Structure 1
Amino acid sequence: MLAVAALSARAIVDAAALDGLRTVALDLFGDVDTRRRAHEWRCIGDAATLRIDDDRLLAALDALARRGEVRGWIAGSGFDGRADLLERGAACLPLVGTAPEDVRRVRDPQAFFDLLRSHGIGHPATAFEPPLSTAGWLCKDAGGSGGWQVRRAQAGDPPAAGCYWQRERSGVPMSATLVCNGRDAVLLGFNRQLTQAIGERPHVFRGVIGPLPVSDRVQRELTAIARLLAGVFRVRGLASLDFLLDGDTVEVLELNPRPPASLSLYPRVGDGGPLRAHLRACEQGELPSAPAAGGLVRGVAIVFAPHELGVDAACAARIEGCDGTHDLPQPGTRVAAGDPLCSLDAEGRDEADTTRQLAQRRAALQATLETRT
């Protein structure tokens, strides 16, 4: 049995279930489908805070370690910039993934961008002191995730640990889904990141579509970059490399050393699923073969509540009854306007087909949210 800890553990729990792996889900939401797929669920924080509670996490891991039937735990979203918490958790129960000291290195923006510069790898102009003029600059927090850590720079922004400034660039936001063994990496595919502006946050993550084709030149360049970074930072297991793509020009943004949201786009990896590949890479150093090109294009999209919503039993049933819904809220949940409500998935022949299906499913879901009983 495995433990999975994250802000929301549902996607990793689903991936584990595809591989016949039993899980204990540790997250903030306890969504209907998370509890349905996991062997058991434990709360590790208040959903309203969007932050994992140190004491709850460590108590849960300690209790699982004393039971003796859980082989280790996988850290998902919510641990970016929290290597100390990973370290403390790993002292309770073995961490199956990138070691905390290596997470600390790869999430250090100065070390990361210095390495890119030393190898001539393209990236947006980056500064660690406030620019004289903030026009065209973003302010980023290396400890955040999901685009919530990115905002437009403002005059008077003070320097702070983990914060840096980066030029806003044109280009399509993309990611590469990786499996790494601490020395090398295999690319599973390339994905388009879907983002939207929410308040002062111009690039909030709202979904991902892939695998998508790229040119041979881009594929060669990103394969070389991923293999280099996986070895230098000793990344282990599933990970993602975020970048901007403008024609054939690549600019690297960050490397996330944990199972990414895009793992749902890759239900088959080698002779199993993505979680089986993660375990083999972490525990045996075994990497899967690179997948063949082609096949279905899948998409995952977050649905944000259009207005404040009280999810009663009837509303929860309507949400679950819509095609492709996941991360299903429990009856009794209250969701503020603009907060994540659930997610959708779809698959199609190509990116346009998948995008169209996601839009249709979103429209159908939004129509049900206006239904009154």
Structure 2
Amino acid sequence: MAGEAILLAAQSARALAESARRAGLRPYVADLFGDADTLDLAEGYRPLPGRFGTGRLGGSALIGALDALAGLAGPRCLGVVLGSGLEGAPDLMAEIARRHRLLGAAPGTVAALKDPMGFAALCGRLGIPHPAVTLGPLDDPAGWLLKRAGGSGGSHIRAATRGRAPAGAYFQARVPGRAFGLAVLADGRSIAVVALTEQWSAGSALRPHRYAGALERGRAEAPALPGAILAAATDAVDRLAAATGLRGLASADLLSDGERWWLTEINPRPGATLDILDRRGGSLLLAHVAASAGERVTPGPTPVDAAAAEICYGARDYRPVPRIAWPDHARDRPRAGTDVARDAPLCTLLATGRDAAAVREMLRERAARLHALLDQEETDEHECEVSERQRADGAAG
């Protein structure tokens, strides 16, 4: 497959593009952001309209972007990989599949897994613990959350309100526990576990459940979940994959308090943990392609070091983003001169270390240094502009 082209579309497709380059592929990319490192990685690029977290990436413009990129890619093209942003639009996925070879879950599979009421019913039939869901009306909303069907990234999750859920949304019962992700490769019949990740949020006033980051523990560390819970969750995802024909790289979101566990949803696509999981020797993106074709793929062993990726959100408005020397551990780097609003994704920070605690501490330090660097550069640019205005006005420099 070396040298072949691949089409990539997601809200942010940089991680997919970087994985494609590691695999020796030529990425042709469509996404919302057009970050500097995405453009450096891409053989061809098309921007998409849309709003982050809605689950309806690009609309009909996505079809045009993929058609244009396919023309640039030429005949040696493996197909198209869709990342986050299509969960709420299986009809759009079906149209893409009619025009291009779709590498990943089929539109019908996505529709089955991302329909909240249907998925809850399927979990019930299979005996899989899943929080209760309803469209309402709710008399007492205290024990419930409001979620958008097909939403991603946690930004769409709110406290429930009285009455019925708005169109396109649903209520899910609150359950206790920490968040985990089970990354798997599915071949339409069964799964192979890639990794268990620990996940956390960085809430804001408007988005209290906003996704922040994920971590994979090192090989020598104690497991993040008891073995019995991990085995039960793995069996549940295996049965769901067989029931829905799931193929490709996917992840299951879990909540557990250490004694009980609940499967909250399955994301039938490569996700936000790709940065920390694609370090197993063989290419995880090529494994995704193979699994999409129905091949049974066995991931490589867990790496020795722990690894984590965390979204760094804007501490304030950057209008525009100043020109800085971005550190090597920063990804999704916004182009200088573009705007990033407060609380919007600014970049992604990566870290590896001997264990989970060391990696989390490294992320905190790197985030603090990055914000200081941005603040200093913006101060320097402002002082330079003031000095230039003074000279233009004839004042002392």
TM-score in same-fold range (> 0.5): yes
Tell me the TM-score normalised to structure 2 length. Answer: 0.87
Distance apart, 1:100 and its partner CA: 0.7
Q: Tell me which residue corresponds to 1:94.
A: 101
Q: How does 1:137-176 map to 2 (within 5 A)?
A: 137-161=144-168, 163-176=169-182
1:8 aligns with 2:19: no
- One-letter amino acid of the structure 2 residue matched with residue 246 of structure 1: D
1:11 is paired with a residue whose SS is helix
Q: How does 1:28-39 map to 2 (within 5 A)?
A: 28-39=32-43
**8 Å Cα contact 1:148-1:204 kept in structure 2:** yes
Q: Tell me which residue corresponds to 2:77.
A: 70
- One-letter amino acid of the structure 2 residue matched with residue 351 of structure 1: A
Percent identity of paired positions between Structure 1 and Structure 2: 35
Give the unaligned 5+ runs of structure 2: 381-397
Distance apart, 1:304 and its partner CA: 0.8
- One-letter amino acid of the structure 1 residue matched with residue 137 of structure 2: P
2:336 is paired with a residue whose SS is coil
Q: How does 1:76-87 map to 2 (within 5 A)?
A: 76-87=83-94
Tell me the TM-score normalised to structure 1 length. Answer: 0.93
Q: 1:227 aligns with which of 238, 241, 264?
A: 238
1:249 aligns with 2:254: no
- One-letter amino acid of the structure 2 residue matched with residue 222 of structure 1: A
1:238 aligns with 2:249: yes
| Higher alpha-carbon Rg | 2
**8 Å Cα contact 1:211-1:265 kept in structure 2:** no
Structure 1: distance between partners of 2:300 and 2:271: 18
2:309 is paired with a residue whose SS is strand
Q: 1:295-331, CA deviations, whole angstroms, 9 ceiling, x for partnerless residues?
A: 211111111111111245xx3324x1x3511101012
Question: Would the alpha carbon gap of residues 55 and 124 (structure 1) be closer, same or farther in structure 2, given more than 3 Å must change?
Answer: closer
Structure 2: distance between partners of 1:353 and 1:157: 45
Structure 1: distance between partners of 2:52 and 2:207: 18
1:298 aligns with 2:307: yes
1:276 aligns with 2:281: no
Distance apart, 1:65 and its partner CA: 4.0
Question: Would the alpha carbon gap of residues 301 and 224 (structure 1) be closer, same or farther in structure 2, given more than 3 Å must change?
Answer: same
Question: Would the alpha carbon gap of residues 265 and 27 (structure 1) be closer, same or farther in structure 2, given more than 3 Å must change?
Answer: same
Q: Tell me which residue corresponds to 1:52.
A: 57
**8 Å Cα contact 2:320-2:339 kept in structure 1:** yes
**8 Å Cα contact 2:133-2:170 kept in structure 1:** yes
What is the alpha-carbon root mean square deviation over aligned residues?
A: 1.9
Distance apart, 1:47 and its partner CA: 6.3
Question: Would the alpha carbon gap of residues 3 and 294 (structure 1) be closer, same or farther in structure 2, given more than 3 Å must change?
Answer: closer
For this pair of structures, how many residues does the alignment match?
366
Structure 2: distance between partners of 1:78 and 1:58: 14
1:267 aligns with 2:278: yes
Q: 1:170-204, CA deviations, whole angstroms, 9 ceiling, x for partnerless residues?
A: 20011111111111111111111111222343211
Q: Which has the higher strand share?
A: 1
Q: How does 1:342-353 map to 2 (within 5 A)?
A: 342-353=347-358
Structure 2: distance between partners of 1:137 and 1:234: 31
**8 Å Cα contact 2:187-2:295 kept in structure 1:** yes
2:110 is paired with a residue whose SS is helix
Q: Tell me which residue corresponds to 1:218.
A: 229
- One-letter amino acid of the structure 2 residue matched with residue 39 of structure 1: E
Structure 2: distance between partners of 1:105 and 1:343: 31
Structure 2: distance between partners of 1:130 and 1:273: 47
Q: 1:214-246, CA deviations, whole angstroms, 9 ceiling, x for partnerless residues?
A: 322122112201211111111111100001011
Q: 1:341-360, CA deviations, whole angstroms, 9 ceiling, x for partnerless residues?
A: 11100011111111011001
Question: Would the alpha carbon gap of residues 23 and 150 (structure 1) be closer, same or farther in structure 2, given more than 3 Å must change?
Answer: same
Q: Tell me which residue corresponds to 1:21.
A: 25
Give the unaligned 5+ runs of structure 1: none
**8 Å Cα contact 2:29-2:69 kept in structure 1:** no
2:197 is paired with a residue whose SS is strand
Structure 2: distance between partners of 1:49 and 1:263: 18
Structure 2: distance between partners of 1:26 and 1:302: 20
Q: Tell me which residue corresponds to 2:115.
A: 108
Question: Would the alpha carbon gap of residues 211 and 20 (structure 1) be closer, same or farther in structure 2, given more than 3 Å must change?
Answer: farther
**8 Å Cα contact 2:120-2:132 kept in structure 1:** no
Question: Would the alpha carbon gap of residues 362 and 86 (structure 1) be closer, same or farther in structure 2, given more than 3 Å must change?
Answer: same
Moved more, 230-239 or 205-214: 205-214
2:203 is paired with a residue whose SS is strand
Distance apart, 1:20 and its partner CA: 1.0
Distance apart, 1:48 and its partner CA: 7.7
Structure 1: distance between partners of 2:309 and 2:180: 14
- One-letter amino acid of the structure 2 residue matched with residue 273 of structure 1: S
- One-letter amino acid of the structure 2 residue matched with residue 196 of structure 1: A
